[in-house]
Structure 1
Amino acid sequence: MKLRNLACRQPHISMGDYNGGNYVDINEVPSPRLHDFKKVSVLPLVFLIFYEVSGGPFGVEDSVQAAGPLLALLGFLVFPIIWSIPEALITAEMGTMFPENGGYVVWVSSALGPYWGFQQGWMKWLSGVIDNALYPVLFLDYLKSGIPALGGGIPRAAAALVLTFVLTYMNYRGLTIVGWAAVLLGIFSILPFVVMGLVAMPKLDPSRWFVVNLRDVDWNLYLNTLFWNLNYWDSISTLAGEVDNPKKTLPKALFYALILVVLGYFFPLLIGTGAVPLNQDLWTDGYFSDIAQMLGGVWLRWWIQGAAAMSNMGMFVAEMSSDSFQLLGMAERGMLPEFFAKRSRYGTPLIGILFSASGVILLSWLSFQEIVAAENFLYCFGMILEFIAFVQLRIKYPDAPRPYKIPVGTIGAILMCVPPTILIFVVLVLSTFKVMVVSLIAVAIGLVLRPCLKFVERKRWMKFSESADLPDLHIANPESIYSLVD
């Protein structure tokens, strides 16, 4: 189940063995996207995934407050095995099988039909927008200790609006700009923790890493923090249509990003918990900057705060790219009105960006914990549909071409989904009543929204159309997923 050798593993069948049609390599099929814009290469894609999932250790502090150093450290080692690796592997297989914008919406539509594909799109888009509302909050939380005026009131609200506008404009200017900006922001965000580790070495006390009190663990906060910091591997699939040679690039980038994310969490936690005396109440958003001052002085504190600010900018633009291209992909599949498929002169989905930015502004007033819990709840529902679609496609169409195929059979595919599914139900059960009610209302809106949009389409109040360049989603059809009949 390791991502090692993702790029070189091949399906267990040859691409021409599928009954009903002769398949050719994906690279031989014209891309169902505009050719006038540069595609994203491996390095920018690695950092886009890094920011979709992580962005660095900013936001992991609550895991120590909730459960103490030992469980926090173990969590960021064990949780990737239970959750991150299976999700990344499924994303690699399904994302190369369906290399188009829309990602998981297309997977679920192919396996379960367009109604459930739309529900997947609604829940994942909404959870993504809720998730993106966190980043202005985290950005300002890290700066408020140095600039107290940003702690609340009109200055904080104005700063959040300006930040949202600037980062939204960056998304508008193009995905390649976003990708290379993510590389630069990622390097700047990681470097201060490397320096902090060097400064902290003489002060490390390994006994501090083993502190735990199981009776005082806040399991809800602990699991939500782990879940939020180690999910969203599938979000990069909504950009697959913008990736250069996705059948090789996507699996390779997922592998490198997985290593970067795990190290980016574990190493700073190891430093922070081992180098300073433990006070669990202080471990909350922004505490790494306080640790930096204790270890290296004010200069290191400001560097960490600047890195946090840059990290949140990176996460914002990466998430908005995923959310907006998802809406574009859904419109190209006829699930949303045609105007969502319109691109700006930079190749970006203008209407999708505007909708996603509006959602961020509307939700930015919520607290950090409320935002995390709400987006986790919706994300869980979406992941259940993804697991079902993954297994369903393995059972119904085992010989369909998969440029990257997880080296397990049908039983192995089912078993791989069991641990993360159990984890999903644990997260759902531990949700507060308020979060559960709000999230279920959001799910109910999606169940009604699809029939409403079909009614609008029948009445011709808005124009819906499916791109003729996209392949048929019914794999049983000889002219199936990214294949050609000779």
Structure 2
Amino acid sequence: MSYLNEKRGPEDPAGSKMPPRNSPHDSMDKEKVPAGPFQVAPGVDIEVASQRDLKRDLSSRHLQFLAIGGTIGTGLFIGTGSALASSGPLSCLIAFAFMGTIVYTVMISLGEMATFVPVTGSFTVYASRFVDPSLGFAMGWLYWFSWAITFAFELTVAGQIIQYWNDSLNIGIWIGVFWVIFTCLNFLPVKFFGESEMYFASIKVVTIVGWLIFGICMNAGVGDEGYIGFKYWKDPGVFAADIYDGPLGKFVGFWGVLITAAFSYQGTELVGVGAGETSNPRKNVPHAIKWTFWGILSMFMATVFFIGILVPYDDPRLGSGSEDASASPLVIAALRAGVSILPDILNAVLLTAVLSAANSNVYSASRIMVALADEGSAPKCVTKTNRWGTPYVAVSIASAVGLLGFINMAAAGAEVFNWFLAIIGVAGLICWGCINLCHMRFMSALKAQGMDRKVEMPYLAPFQPYMAWYGLFFIALVTLTQGFTAFTPEWDVVGFFSSYVSLILFVVLYGVHKAVCLWWMPQHTGVVALNAMDLQTGRLED
């Protein structure tokens, strides 16, 4: 396979193929290539370190477990408890199923682009190339910060989980220990990261499957409650009202869980982050995307279904706000059945889930930063790699953000840290929307440049562009309404800003980058023209 990069000359000793003669790149000389504020002056030949030096050592199974590790965590093990309490079992199930269809649109859109142009931090690159460099800058930095600060959050949660067994140990000890472990792990060759993440994520998968088998047995009559069936769907019922009474309250409960489901599914797109380090991406990326989506969807749906039939939504222990196993509906179901040892087991699994997420956080944030540097939105130095092909500068910066977890040690610091966490959820939704938007632009560019999508694509996303439009519409709707509790039953200023700080930051980043570009290079400040869109850099061909 040959690597296509228009920045190499036709007689490059590496033997890379150039774009076709009728490609718009033929008319682009180096003086016309836009350079971002962090790039060197136009006309200087730049070698893209991330595309040349990172090792393609990840396999399809590594990509799958990377996404599973980043997705399945406290959202499924603990967050589903408050979701069940506020909406009821059927409403909760419908919300997770509906949001699953939205995730499907994102995954197939990403899959088509990532197999055609499999680059590191794929969707950040696509936003800059296929839509607008300012969009790539804003989305990339927001997404980078969300994963970097999530690393600090997971380190803190890991300490809180351990305190379930021994609360005499200071959380700061565990923040420091786990920070060192996962920082060092991410400096190793990417294959070591892939293998470690696979084993961490496997523990979660085995636990969920085991709990589902236990749930079937419990429902059939094993345990203190005897045969359960669907009795909790009759009393207290399948729908719960939230904030308001009656039908309006039931709809509000459903919409609130729809937002919870959106946050819980975030991380599935991480398959695209590792595309540039995947061997044989034409085969492995589509395979990983397909099995990742269906694997995560089936585990979420099965778990939510059994939680809904095993635990009544009016159980007072649901949504207690605790970060350890005591708030998990999986544990509550076991306690109702009289199995007292399961909480300790699930707490240990929850710890591995959090540590798995922490591991993938550093990897994801570092690769997004590399992608930003490649597109001129970050200093080029962050693409430097060690002898194993690991971008050690990007890893160091992402890991350093994890030290913010220590501010939780101060009483006032916890409030500051919570404001950082407010950025996390909506950042993922913004990324999803941008992926669908990029795919629509990508399809239009293929047509404008005379490329047959059915012939050129290693993987052809079904029902496009209709699925992308469907996903973009509902992602935008959920993003704009996810902070609705700030408006009802009465106006909450703090709640409003904590809900929309991520969206505000995204708009600010976009506006600042656009303003800088107007001053720096006013000829390159608009949306990328379809016939000038770069569809070749990073492309792999047989």
TM-score bucket (shorter structure): 0.7 to 0.9
Give 1:307's aligned residue. 349
Does 2:146 align with 1:127?
yes
Asked if the contact 1:21/1:478 (under 8 Å) is kept, the reply is: no
How far residue 473 of structure 1 moved from its aligned partner, in angstroms, is 11
1:57-456 correspondence runs (5 A):
57-59=76-78, 60-81=80-101, 83-149=102-168, 155-204=170-219, 205=228, 206-209=230-233, 210-214=237-241, 215=245, 218=253, 222-284=257-319, 285=323, 286=325, 287=328, 288-295=330-337, 297-362=339-404, 365=408, 373-398=422-447, 399-400=450-451, 401-410=456-465, 413-427=468-482, 429=484, 432-436=495-499, 438-439=501-502, 442-443=505-506, 446-447=509-510, 450=513
Asked if the contact 2:151/2:402 (under 8 Å) is kept, the reply is: yes
For residues 202 and 423 of structure 2, what CA distance do their matches in structure 1 show?
30
| Uncovered stretches (5+) of structure 1, i.e. residues with no partner | 1-16, 23-29, 459-471
How far residue 53 of structure 1 moved from its aligned partner, in angstroms, is 2.5
How far residue 117 of structure 1 moved from its aligned partner, in angstroms, is 1.6
How far residue 342 of structure 1 moved from its aligned partner, in angstroms, is 0.9
For residues 289 and 456 of structure 1, what CA distance do their matches in structure 2 show?
57
How far residue 218 of structure 1 moved from its aligned partner, in angstroms, is 4.9
The alignment-based identity, stated in percent, is: 17
TM-score, L = length of structure 2 = 0.72
For residues 478 and 186 of structure 1, what CA distance do their matches in structure 2 show?
36
| 3-state SS, counterpart of residue 148 of structure 1 | coil
Asked if the contact 1:75/1:226 (under 8 Å) is kept, the reply is: yes
| 3-state SS, counterpart of residue 279 of structure 2 | coil
User: For residue 20 of structure 1, what is the amino acid of its counterpart?
Assistant: N
Asked if the contact 1:110/1:475 (under 8 Å) is kept, the reply is: no
User: Structure 1, residues 396-441: CA drift from partner, whole Å, max 9, x if none?
Assistant: 3335443222133545643453333333333255563131463355
How far residue 456 of structure 1 moved from its aligned partner, in angstroms, is 13
How far residue 113 of structure 1 moved from its aligned partner, in angstroms, is 3.0
User: For residue 207 of structure 1, what is the amino acid of its counterpart?
Assistant: K
For residues 375 and 468 of structure 2, what CA distance do their matches in structure 1 show?
28
User: Structure 1, residues 159-207: CA drift from partner, whole Å, max 9, x if none?
Assistant: 2232222222212223211211122122222323333333343432222
1:86–1:148 distance in 2 versus 1, CA, 3 Å: same
User: For residue 350 of structure 2, what is the amino acid of its counterpart?
Assistant: A
Give 1:461's aligned residue. none
Give 1:20's aligned residue. 22
Does 2:58 align with 1:40?
yes
For residues 93 and 533 of structure 2, what CA distance do their matches in structure 1 show?
49
Asked if the contact 2:65/2:201 (under 8 Å) is kept, the reply is: yes
Give 1:467's aligned residue. none
For residues 186 and 467 of structure 2, what CA distance do their matches in structure 1 show?
39
| 3-state SS, counterpart of residue 88 of structure 2 | helix
User: For residue 396 of structure 2, what is the amino acid of its counterpart?
Assistant: L
User: For residue 380 of structure 2, what is the amino acid of its counterpart?
Assistant: E
Give 1:52's aligned residue. 70
1:479–1:455 distance in 2 versus 1, CA, 3 Å: closer
Give 1:4's aligned residue. none
For residues 189 and 479 of structure 1, what CA distance do their matches in structure 2 show?
38
RMSD of the TM alignment (CA)?
A: 3.8
1:483–1:20 distance in 2 versus 1, CA, 3 Å: farther
The alignment covers a number of residue pairs equal to 446
For residues 413 and 199 of structure 1, what CA distance do their matches in structure 2 show?
38
Asked if the contact 2:85/2:240 (under 8 Å) is kept, the reply is: no
| 3-state SS, counterpart of residue 238 of structure 1 | coil
Deviates more, 1:121-130 or 1:271-280: 271-280
TM-score, L = length of structure 1 = 0.79
| 3-state SS, counterpart of residue 33 of structure 1 | helix
Asked if the contact 2:188/2:390 (under 8 Å) is kept, the reply is: yes
Deviates more, 1:401-410 or 1:290-299: 290-299
Asked if the contact 1:324/1:352 (under 8 Å) is kept, the reply is: yes
1:234–1:138 distance in 2 versus 1, CA, 3 Å: same
How far residue 290 of structure 1 moved from its aligned partner, in angstroms, is 4.4
Deviates more, 1:42-51 or 1:473-482: 473-482
| Uncovered stretches (5+) of structure 2, i.e. residues with no partner | 1-18, 25-47, 220-227, 409-413, 487-494, 522-527
User: Structure 1, residues 21-64: CA drift from partner, whole Å, max 9, x if none?
Assistant: 59xxxxxxx99734684511111211111123224832332311
Asked if the contact 1:196/1:292 (under 8 Å) is kept, the reply is: no
Does 2:507 align with 1:480?
no
Give 2:30's aligned residue. none
For residues 202 and 534 of structure 2, what CA distance do their matches in structure 1 show?
46
User: Structure 1, residues 308-346: CA drift from partner, whole Å, max 9, x if none?
Assistant: 111111112122211101111222333211210011333
